[in-house]
Amino acid sequence: MTNDSARPGSAAAEPLLRLRGIEKHFGAVEALRGVDLDVPPAQVTALVGDNGAGKSVLVKCIAGIHEPDAGKIFFEGKRVHIRGPKDSARLGIEVVYQDLALCDNLDVVQNMFLGRERLSRGFLDEDSMERSASQTLADLRVTTVRSVRQAVQSLSGGQRQSVAVAKAVMWNSKLVILDEPTAALGVAQTRQVLDLVSTLAERGLAVIMISHNLNDVFKVADRIAVLRLGEMVGQAPASQFDSQAVVELMTTGRSSRDGDASERPSAGEGR
């Protein structure tokens, strides 16, 4: 699997992931109503919205945990059907959930390779795995982890988040989805994790970051997509938003600012 075809010449390249008219119902509840979303490579796309806006459902549709009732998903320009987590993993989509899913009793290397251990002559090839894990952390400029042979339970919240992210990007992934990566972190650790998020995009990965915290969003996001009650009410480069506009979109679905209107749901089509 090579990533080269996905590498953009510029920020305006073909989106890695395109969603068109995604709908999802749970009984009578309409969780997603015709959502369009463009996720370009080498950029951080922040997905914001109030509680119940449908952010999690949308992410789960991409991750293959839910199957959309209607709509189309394009990945690298081709229409794809994501029916389970295995399908999304095969495409190169990795999700870092809020609960991180790390084994506290295992060390950093063991966690990063869990389920995909390398073997040599039938036994675990610890040295090769340790080298690759250290390499990935170094590439991501995660320097705070003292030793990769440290049990995860002894790490701080920010370090754990970093390990979870490193685990997700190690497998030639092309799109990394982060669910509230800075929730429950202190100031310094939040900065650590946000730096890491930027690094991912610099390395050419597409990143979707779900966040409640608009400060964080404006620090790292290249694009912002606003969901409200299951509808995409705004989607544009971050430079075209300010906090107030985003808050207005999140709460009322409209923004009083000029210039934003043209970047509303149709924005993705025009690119």
Partner 1 sequence: MTPDPDTSREPRRSDAPEAGEAEARRAPAPADSPRTLGGLLREWWTQILAGESGVLPVVLGLIAIGIIFQTQNARFLSAGNLVNLLVQGSVFMLIGMGEVFVLLLGEIDLSLGFVAGIGGTVVTELVQSGTSWPWWAAIAMALAVTTLIGALQGTLVTRLRLPSFVVTLAGLLGWQGVMIRLLGVGGTISIPDETINNLANGTLSDVTGWLLAAAVVLVFGAATVVQDGKRRRSGLAAPPRFLTLFKILVAAAAASGLVVLTNVDRGVRAFPVSGMPWVIPIVFGVLMVWSVLLGRTRFGRYVYAIGGNAEAARRAGINLARIRTIAFALAGLTAGIGGIIYASRLRSMSTSFDGGTIVLYVVATAVIGGTSLFGGRGHPLHPILGGIVIAAIVNGMGLLGLSAAIQLIATALVLLASITVDVVVRRRGETAH
Strands 223-228 vs 44-49: parallel, antiparallel or unpaired: parallel
Q: Which one, of 171, 209, 203, lies nearest residue 190 by Cα?
A: 209
Residues 82, 178: Cα–Cα separation, whole Å: 18
Name which of 17 and 108 has its Cβ closer to partner 1.
108
Q: Which is nearer to partner 1, 153 or 266 (CB)?
A: 153
Name the amino acid, one letter, at 138.
Answer: A
At 80 the three-state DSSP class reads strand
Smallest distance from the beta carbon of 117 to partner 1, in angstroms?
Answer: 5
Residues in touch with partner 1 (CB under 8 A): 3-4, 7-8, 10-11, 42-43, 85, 99, 101-106, 110-111, 114-117, 119, 122-124, 127-128, 130-132, 134-139, 142-143, 145-149, 151, 153-157, 159-160, 169-172, 201-204, 222
Shorter beta-carbon distance to partner 1: residue 106 or 229: 106
Cβ proximity to partner 1, 91 vs 148, nearer residue: 148
Residues 6+ apart with CB under 8 A from 54: 24, 31, 32, 35, 227, 229, 230
Nearer to partner 1, 22 or 102 (CB): 102
- For residue 109, the minimal CB distance to partner 1 (Å) is 10
Contact criterion met (CB below 8 Å) for 43 and 11:
yes
Least distance CB 229 / partner 1 (angstroms): 30
CB of 86 to partner 1, least distance (A): 8
Q: How far is the C-alpha of 186 from the C-alpha of 17, rounded, in Å?
A: 32
Closest distance of CB 7 from partner 1, Å: 5
Instruction: Please calculate the CA angle 59-63-64 and round it to the nearest 5 degrees.
Output: 120
DSSP 8-state class, residue 191: H
Residue 112 near residue 138 (C-beta atoms within 8 A): no
Shortest Cβ 162–partner 1 spacing (Å): 11
Which residue's CB is nearer to partner 1, number 73 or number 238? 238
